[in-house]
Chain A
Amino acid sequence: MKQKATGLKKSLALLALSSVMAISACSGGNGGSNGQSESAPPQSTNANSEGNGNAKEEPFKISIMMQSFDTNLPKADSPVIKKLEEYTNTDLDIQFVPNSSYPDKVNITLASGQLPTIMVVDKSPSFISSARAGAFWEVGPYLKDYPNLSQANDIVLNNSSIDGKNYGVYRGRVLGRMGVTLNQVWMENLGLQPPKTIDEFYNVLKAFKENDPDQNGKDDTYGVVITKYAGPWDIMQVWFGAPNGWGDDGSGNLVPTHMTPEYREALQFFRKLYEEGLVNEDFAVMDSAVWNDPFVNGKAGAFVDVADNARRLNSPMQEKAPRDSSYTNVYQAPVGPKGHRDMPTTGYAGMLAISKSAVKTEEELKKVLTFIDKLSDVEMQDLLGYGMEGVHYDMVDGYIAPKENLDASLIQQYNGLNQMLTFIGPVGATLEQTDINKMIAEVQAANESIVVANPAQPLVSEVYAQKGQQLDNIIADARIQYIVGQIDDAGLDKAIELWKTTGGNDYIAEINKLHKESQQ
Chain B
Amino acid sequence: MNSKHDSLGEKLFDGFNYLLLGLLSLVTVLPFVYIIAGSFATEVELMEREFFIFPRDPSIAAFQYIFSTDTISRSLINSVIITIAGTLANLAFTFTMAYSLSRKDLMGRNVIMNLVIFSMLFSGGMIPGYLVVKELGLLDSYAAVILPGAISAFNMIIIKNFFQQLPPGLEESARIDGCTDLGVLWRIALPLSKPIIATFGLFYAVGHWNNFFSALLFLNDHTKWPLQVILREIVMLSQLAAGDMGAMDPNFIEPPDQSVKMAVIVVGTLPILLVYPFLQKHFAKGVLLGSIKG
Residues of A within 8 A of B (CB): 4, 7-8, 10-12, 14-15, 17-18, 21-22, 25, 28-29, 31, 35-36, 38-39, 41, 67-73, 75, 95-101, 104-105, 107-108, 111-112, 171, 173-174, 177, 227, 229, 231-232, 288-293, 296-297, 305-306, 308-309, 312, 316, 319-320, 345-346, 349-350, 385, 407-409, 412, 418-419, 421, 430-431
Contacting pair B243 A229 (CB below 8 A)? yes
B171 within 8 Å of A by Cβ?
no
B56 within 8 Å of A by Cβ?
no
Contacting pair A25 B233 (CB below 8 A)? no
B110 contact set on A, CB distance < 8 A: none
Interface majority SS (helix, strand, loop, mixed), chain B: helix
Contacting pair A229 B44 (CB below 8 A)? no
Contacting pair A8 B236 (CB below 8 A)? no
Instruction: Name the segment of B17-25, B101-109, B114-122, B214-222 touching the other chain.
Output: B214-222
Most chain-A CB neighbours within 10 Å: which of B47, B134, B241? Answer: B241
* CB-nearest residue of chain B to A10: B186
Contacting pair B216 A105 (CB below 8 A)? yes
Closest 10 pairs between A and B when the two form their complex, measured CB to CB:
A39-B137, A288-B241, A408-B68, A229-B241, A308-B250, A231-B243, A349-B247, A100-B236, A11-B186, A71-B230
Residues of B within 8 A of A (CB): 42-44, 47-48, 65, 68-71, 89, 92-93, 96, 126-127, 130-132, 134-140, 143, 147, 179-180, 182-183, 185-187, 213, 216-217, 220, 222-223, 229-230, 232-234, 236-254, 256
A297 contact set on B, CB distance < 8 A: 47-48
Contacting pair A320 B44 (CB below 8 A)? yes
Please judge, given known A-B contacts A18-B89, A96-B222, A412-B69, whether A4 and B187 are in contact too, CB under 8 Å.
yes
Most chain-A CB neighbours within 10 Å: which of B71, B143, B249? Answer: B249
Contacting pair B251 A385 (CB below 8 A)? yes
> CA A70 – CA B216 in complex, angstroms?
14
Contacting pair A11 B68 (CB below 8 A)? no
> CA A231 – CA B180 in complex, angstroms?
69
A171 contact set on B, CB distance < 8 A: 247
Please judge, given known A-B contacts A4-B187, A8-B182, A412-B71, whether A306 and B242 are in contact too, CB under 8 Å.
yes
A385 contact set on B, CB distance < 8 A: 251-252
Number of A-B pairs, beta carbon distance below 8 Å:
184
Contacting pair B127 A111 (CB below 8 A)? yes
Query: A349 touches which one: B183, B238, B242, B246 (CB < 8 A)?
Result: B246
Please judge, given known A-B contacts A18-B93, A73-B71, whether A12 and B242 are in contact too, CB under 8 Å.
no
> CA A97 – CA B219 in complex, angstroms?
10
Contacting pair B135 A292 (CB below 8 A)? no
Please judge, given known A-B contacts A98-B216, A297-B47, A306-B250, whether A312 and B242 are in contact too, CB under 8 Å.
yes
> CA A412 – CA B71 in complex, angstroms?
9
Query: A39 touches which one: B69, B135, B186 (CB < 8 A)?
Result: B135
Seed contacts A11-B183, A231-B244; 7 additional CB < 8 Å A-B pairs = A14-B96, A69-B248, A288-B239, A288-B240, A292-B242, A308-B250, A407-B68
Contacting pair A108 B92 (CB below 8 A)? no
**B238 shortest CB reach to chain A, Å:** 6
B135 contact set on A, CB distance < 8 A: 28-29, 35-36, 39
Contacting pair A305 B243 (CB below 8 A)? yes
Query: B247 touches which one: A21, A99, A104, A316 (CB < 8 A)?
Result: A99
B187 contact set on A, CB distance < 8 A: 4, 7
Q: What are 25 pairs between A and B in contact, CB < 8 Å?
A: A11-B182, A15-B96, A18-B93, A21-B147, A25-B136, A39-B135, A68-B233, A69-B237, A70-B253, A71-B230, A73-B222, A96-B222, A101-B213, A107-B126, A112-B131, A173-B246, A306-B250, A312-B242, A316-B44, A319-B44, A385-B252, A409-B68, A409-B70, A412-B71, A418-B249
> CA A240 – CA B201 in complex, angstroms?
61
B70 contact set on A, CB distance < 8 A: 409
Most chain-B CB neighbours within 10 Å: which of A71, A96, A319, A431? Answer: A71
Contacting pair A289 B252 (CB below 8 A)? no
* CB-nearest residue of chain A to B248: A69
* CB-nearest residue of chain B to A32: B135
Contacting pair A306 B138 (CB below 8 A)? no
> CA A291 – CA B136 in complex, angstroms?
46
> CA A410 – CA B180 in complex, angstroms?
61
Contacting pair B186 A7 (CB below 8 A)? yes
* CB-nearest residue of chain A to B65: A408
